[in-house]
Amino acid sequence: MKQKIPDCPVETTLMLISDRWKVLIIRDLLEGTKRFGELKKSIGNISQKVLTANLRSMEESGLLTRKVYAEVPPKVEYTLTKTGYSLQPVLDAMKEWGMHYQNTYK
């Protein structure tokens, strides 16, 4: 079931990436395709359940794709879609703002 897209563009963006974990997942996938374990390790303090839920939500929203290989043990890779990659300027702006804030208030 698709979510209703808000009229406000800022609200739409927040709807898609407002969770801190989603922003960190996007940050890591901007570097390229990653496996579940790689994402869990690079993100750090996130449970497997929460990571799985966020990845599924992001896949449903069209931000990433999930590719499953028929292997034992199962191999699953996650890659940003074109829409997911289009968030790079947003994350770049967040990084720049965060660095400015750190330098000002440390």
Structural domain of 20: 9-105
Q: In what order do the strands lie in the sheet with 34-35?
A: 34-35, 75-80, 64-69
Q: What is the pLDDT of residue 6?
A: 87
Q: What is the largest CA-CA distance in the chain?
A: 51
What is the reported pTM? 0.88
Give the chain's domain count. Answer: 1
In a domain, 1, yes or no: no
Tokens 């750090």 map to which residue? 44
- Which CATH number is 29's domain given? 1.10.10.10
In a domain, 3, yes or no: no
Q: What is the pLDDT of residue 2?
A: 65
Per-residue pLDDT of the chain (106 residues; tens, 9 = 90+): 467 888 999 999 998 988 889 999 999 999 999 999 999 999 989 999 999 999 999 999 999 999 999 998 889 999 999 999 999 999 999 999 999 999 998 7
In the chain the first and final C-alpha atoms are separated, in Å, by: 45
Q: Is 7 helix (H, G, I), strand (E, B) or coil?
A: coil
In a domain, 4, yes or no: no
Taking the C-alpha atoms of residue 63 and residue 16, their distance in angstroms, rounded to an integer, is 9
